[in-house]
A and B are shown apart, each in its own frame.
Chain A
Amino acid sequence: MARVVIDRLSKTFPPPAKGGDPVVAIGDISLEVEGNVFVSIVGPSGCGKSTLLNILSGVETPTRGNVSVTEGDRPAHLGYVFQDARLLPWRTVIDNMMYVRDDGEAGAAKAARYLDMVGLSHTHEMFPGQLSGGMQQRVGIARAFSVEPDLLLMDEPFSHLDAITARSLRDHLQELWSATRKTVLFVTHDVVEAVQLSDRIIVLAPGGRIFDDITIDLPHPRRAADPKVATLQAEILGRFEEMQPTSAPA
């Protein structure tokens, strides 16, 4: 059971042009996530959602503050699903799954099981270029689950896909999550998606500050067309309108 503690975290990037102002991506946020929960981080573009995941995964360092991602008394093992699939085009699907694993045959069996769970058991020996965008993203999701992470980070994984494919992948994701119950931090700018998938929604405002923290108490799996889900979506979208645009950079 992963535990994420974010304590007074800030991240400022240097000015994009000479003489400009530094860009505040995250502005002094504190947050705690614990247990087998699906947490969405929602907000408009440029409010620091992806930067937060990059700091949690160690790809970027914070300007101020601390983060800790633990599983019991050891550092948590992470999985990551990106906006695009980020597969190695010169390796087959199964080899891409094995690229992020260090075990041999046992690992291959696990990788195959997760590919099967996303409906891609017939693609093991194919190259990513032979798959459509939706299928590549399913490989990306299977890869992240297959490392059996304590914490799964997902950065707008469906934002580059068409609506029908994205909807199908959301259903796949719900099935996978229900079967594995990993701790998930899911970044999205789509409130509808967040309500359908999450137990908790953290709303970030421009300038990288927390605007709202909402608990969703509906059973999984949820359908987008479910009236309860739709009502909640409308309510949260209404709260969004209260969010005043600030002078913080986008």
Chain B
Amino acid sequence: MAAMGAGQMTAGTVALPEAPTPPGPFRRWMTSPIGAQVTAAVVFIGAWQLLTLIAPRVPGPVEVVNFLFVEITGGSHGGIVRGQFFEHFAITLQRFSLGLFLGFVSGLLVGILIGSSTLARALLNDTVLVLLTMPAFVWAFLTTMWFGITWQAPVLTVAFASFPFVAINVAQGVRAIAPELKHMSTAFEVGRSKQFRHLIVPAVAGYIFAGLRFAIIVGWNGILLSEWFSGQAGVGFRTRYWFDANRYRGFVGWVIVFIVFIVVVDRVILNRLQKRAFYWRDASEADFIEIEEQQVGL
């Protein structure tokens, strides 16, 4: 007769299965979200390094990091130009912030209008949808044609490119507000300003964040293109400078700066703001207190 393994029944007794061995600290780390993210980054850098073996004109990660170090610390790139990293970055950031502010505020107002008024929806919804289909590079071309090589061109590129994403998301959010809550507000004669602050804005917050995320990505793309075509300073201008100089490590280096900025904004600013705005949701999920019923004799 074959020997019985763990978990098999003998007459009258049931053997419990052996508890699985807990994973070691390395396996735990590898399977954690941060472990997965680090693994993805390592795989990406490895693939990039491999690519440089196949395509020698592609600069490798070490070459690009060295370039960025010199560019950021103000060193010399073989006598071609002194690094002016922060100056260019600050100029782009100023233009981007102003453009995003204009696009966000106008998108918010138009989105609320479309979401709350049938007439406004009939008037504006299709226009916003058309704007949504316009690629950022079209705005970069148009604003350069309209304003020439000026600071207005990149600012308005960001504003035009980001506006429809905010408007369409906010409109959807306003339409999704529970009619029961509006009814309650009307029945209690809550003022319009109070309803806007405490009902509409929090109810639409998720849609605002979604719109803002798209707006930042599209706007940042837009400013890079605009500065590429018409800038005399800024991240886009600098990227083009290295492209024209046939220094691909410079070009790739600035593209990486561009990507890192988006990731940092998303992780550090947007994620934190979102967590703060939705604190109530975490608290509600974590701490349901049905037991409290018993304290009042139900």
| CB of A86, distance to nearest CB on chain B (Å) | 4
Docked-complex contact B281 and A126, CB < 8 angstroms? no
Task: Tell me the minimal C-beta distance from B199 to chain A in angstroms.
Answer: 7
**Which residues on A sit within 8 Å (CB–CB) of B203?**
90
Min CB distance B278 to A, Å, is 8
The one of A86, A99, A132, A153 that contacts B194, using a Cβ cutoff of 8 Å: A99
With A86-B181, A131-B292 as known contacts, state yes or no: A58 contacts B186, CB within 8 Å.
yes
Interface pick from A28-36, A77-85, A196-204, A235-243: A77-85
Q: Which residues of B contact A231 (CB under 8 A)?
A: none
A61 CB to nearest chain B CB (Å): 12
Bound Cα distance from A132 to B181, whole angstroms: 19
Query: Does B27 have its Cβ within 8 Å of any Cβ on chain A?
Result: no
Do A127 and B298 touch across chains, with their CB atoms under 8 A apart? no
Within 8 A of B (CB), among A37-87: 57-59, 78-80, 82, 84, 86
Question: CB of A102 within 8 A of chain B?
Answer: yes
Chain B residue at minimum C-beta to C-beta distance from A79: B188
CB of B293 within 8 A of CB of A132, answer: yes
A221: CB under 8 A from chain B? no
Report how far A199 CA is from B45 CA in the complex, Å.
Answer: 79
A120 vs B295: C-alpha distance when bound (angstroms): 10
Which of B180, B191, B278 has the most chain A CB atoms inside 10 A of its CB? B180
Q: What is the total number of residues of chain A having a CB less than 8 Å from a CB of chain B?
A: 35
Q: CB distance A99 to B190 under 8 Å?
A: yes
Query: A15: which B residues are within 8 A, CB to CB?
Result: none
The contact of A59 among B181, B186, B287, by CB within 8 Å, is B186
Residues from 25 to 78 in B contacting A, C-beta threshold 8 Å: none
Q: Which residues of B contact A153 (CB under 8 A)?
A: 187
Whether A129 pairs with B194 at a CB distance below 8 angstroms is no
**Distance of A89 Cα from B290 Cα, bound (Å):** 16
Residue pair B289, A126 in contact (C-beta under 8 Å): yes
Question: Nearest residue in B to A128 (C-beta to C-beta)?
Answer: B284
Known contacts: A59-B186, A59-B187, A119-B296. The answer to whether A88 contacts B198 by CB under 8 A is yes
Contact (Cβ within 8 A) A90 B280: yes
Verify B190–A89 contact, CB threshold 8 A. Answer: no
Give the complex CA separation of A122 and B188 in angstroms.
25
**B208, chain A: closest CB distance, angstroms:** 13
A120 to B298 Cα, complex, angstroms: 12
Q: Would you give the 0/1 interface string for B254-298, flagging 1 where the beta carbon is closer than 8 Å to chain A?
A: 000000000000000000000000101101110111101101111
Q: Is the CB of B180 within 8 A of A132?
A: no
In the assembled complex, the CB of B276 is this many whole angstroms from the nearest CB of chain A, namely 12
Closest to A161 in B: B298
Judge whether B188 and A84 touch: CB under 8 Å: no
Contacts of A88 in B (CB 8 A): 181, 198-199, 202
B122 at the interface (CB under 8 A from A): no
Which of B188, B189, B284 is close to A89, meaning CB atoms less than 8 Å apart?
B284
Q: List 27 A-B contacts (CB under 8 A).
A: A57-B187, A59-B183, A59-B187, A80-B187, A80-B188, A86-B183, A89-B284, A90-B203, A90-B205, A91-B202, A119-B295, A122-B295, A123-B292, A126-B289, A129-B283, A129-B284, A129-B285, A130-B287, A130-B289, A131-B289, A131-B292, A132-B289, A132-B292, A135-B292, A165-B293, A168-B296, A168-B298
Q: Which 6 A-B pairs have the closest CB atoms?
A: A129-B284, A119-B296, A100-B188, A80-B187, A86-B184, A90-B202
Show the binding face of A for B, using Cβ within 8 Å. 57-59, 78-80, 82, 84, 86, 88-91, 95, 99-100, 102, 119-120, 122-123, 126-132, 134-135, 147, 153, 164-165, 168
